[in-house]
Structure 1
Amino acid sequence: MRVLKWLLAAGLVAVAAATGLVYAAPEWVTRLAIDADRQRAGLVRKEIVLPDGLRFAYLEGGQGEPLMLLHGFGADKDNFTRVARLLTPHYRVIVPDLTGFGESARLAGADYRPRAQAARLRAFAGALGVGKLHLGGSSMGGQIALTYAAAYPAEVASLWLLAPSGVWSAPKSELADIYQSTGRNPLIARSKEEFARTFEFVMNDPPFVPRPILDVIAKGVVANAPLAEYIFKQLVGESVEARASGLATPALIVWGQQDRAIHVGSAAVLQRLMPRSQVVVMPGVGHLPMVERPRQSADDYLRFRAGTN
């Protein structure tokens, strides 16, 4: 009994110490947590500069067929770290920061529409020695992935589309209603408080993140707000429906039933357009299935890939 009490007391002290560190040194703890997640996922941070001078920061790990994963608007490469832990045992996983976000190049006045981003990613893949690949993308990343497959169909073996944007004939989402009626974009945060609200907006069942760590993550997002607004204006009205129509690439389309950013009805629209697609809708999940349900997301994807093989 004494040993049990001692262990309990030691555990409480450890929790208190960890909690204290989060508040005393949030930036150090945040860096430590990110590095630990990457290590668990078998991912290593790398950089490459393309011949035209464009710089990409990216995560890479695992072996096998290349699987490139593209994050969404306002996010970065670490949006895929949790699910990548379950994918690196099977594939060579490559997760870049898209141009304009994270640690990759931020080009003032550049073209950030999906076609331009897809062309940059194709050059990035080529620099890594990757020809044909499997592509996955969340939100804006899904829109870019679909555009990539439509532009270079012989180079994309399959698509994993996690609530991709650009399906404008679908029912309007809460995000679209807010943006059209007020001009305010819930995805663009200009303060720590707004970022905390964005975090709640995009996920129905988010992982627990202490507020001091959330505030550290917010710094980079808030600093990038002017460029993010410029990019968003280029994306508005960029439909993927014509590109998706008749596209024969095998595709897994995933949506959260409680997605407030892009209406879940978009999934049915895409499925009708893409003859080799299948849909998974996750109850209780918001806009980021791979963050909210990494295990289910990975299991569904592995089953899909087994079927395509």
Structure 2
Amino acid sequence: MSYSNHTFHYKKIAIDYRIYPSHNTDSSRTILLLHGFLASGSCFHRMIPDLRQRYQVITLDFPPFGNSEKSSDIAFSYEDYTDLAASLLDHLQIKYLDIGGHSMGGQIAMRLAYCYPERINKLFLFAPSSYMLPTDTFSSMIASASIFPAIMQFVFEATSVVGFLRHLVADPEKVTLRMVIAYSIPFMDKELFPSLAHFIRSRGGDLPNDSLQQIKAKTIIFWGKEDPLLPPSIGYRLLAELPHATLHILPDAGHLLPEETPETIVSYIE
């Protein structure tokens, strides 16, 4: 898959992003794809080839995930991620585009549509994180403990990346070696877990109802009927909140929709 790999800096942190040129030379459309927690831009690899028939596709890795820099010295919140994505668009001189977001990336996509309505054409949300409150004081205290990163590392190693992925999909046979490798690589960096602890303390909460109701972009929401992490009931709640939304419940799909049902999702993106 041909693409160009780039880096730009946000708050002095190196951010990795990729540009996949459109195969349609007559099209100037761009779509930005935003990944979820513990994932990276590579989670969209099965969607990108078809999307390139009509879009220039851009992916980025939110720090400390994927190939972006990991640092426990800087706190990244959802507001920072939103500003980071907008800064990337400014860096690339992109004024108007579509956005797709999975899980946590879906929350950031909605924030972009809320904060920059003049820049967003359509939203495509794949089981977007919604209605989560900020980290409570007790949990924040636990995440601040010096031993917390080591505890997280032990838990992840005990469950294994394979077990983690197999839990999130409706059909465990859809967990491929490529997925396991892509999700495993970031965990090899010793800075990841201190960075995660910092993120847990500072991430903030999801957009409140009154903010969701002000999003003007046409929105298509996708949800796996067998999602074990975020139940489809959240999708129906979002459908009632977002003024211009439609919802598609996908049978035989879990939480990792871009990996599980890429063809179905892309068929609705136009």
CA–CA distance in 2 between the matches of 1:257 and 1:186?
Answer: 29
Give the alignment of 1:136-175 within 5 angstroms: 136-168=100-132
More contact order relative to length (CA 8 Å, sep ≥ 6)? 2
Aligned length: 246
* Residue matched to 2:259: 291
Deviations 1:212-262 (CA, angstroms, capped at 9, x unpaired): x83684242354233224323434643443321231111011110111111
CA positional deviation for 1:293: 0.8
Distance 1:240 1:95, change over 3 A: farther
Give the alignment of 1:222-241 within 5 angstroms: 223=189, 224-235=192-203, 237-241=205-209
**Aligned 8 A contact 2:39 2:183 in 1:** no
* Residue matched to 1:252: 220
* Residue matched to 2:187: 221
**Aligned 8 A contact 2:78 2:204 in 1:** no
Which TM-score applies when normalising by structure 2?
0.81
Seq. identity, %:
22
**Aligned 8 A contact 1:115 1:148 in 2:** no
CA–CA distance in 1 between the matches of 2:32 and 2:182?
Answer: 27
Structure 1 residue runs of 5 or longer lacking an equivalent are 1-38, 170-182
**Aligned 8 A contact 1:57 1:103 in 2:** yes
Distance 1:109 1:88, change over 3 A: same
**Aligned 8 A contact 1:48 1:56 in 2:** yes
Higher relative helix content: 1
Which TM-score applies when normalising by structure 1?
0.72
Task: Decide which structure has the larger Cα Rg and report it.
Answer: 1
Distance 1:127 1:202, change over 3 A: same
CA positional deviation for 1:208: 4.2
Distance 1:145 1:51, change over 3 A: closer
Distance 1:260 1:45, change over 3 A: farther
Distance 1:68 1:192, change over 3 A: farther
CA–CA distance in 1 between the matches of 2:51 and 2:70?
Answer: 29
Deviations 1:130-185 (CA, angstroms, capped at 9, x unpaired): 1112111000000011011111111111111111112249xxxxxxxxxxxxx9x9
**Aligned 8 A contact 2:131 2:205 in 1:** no
* 2:30 is aligned with 1:62: no
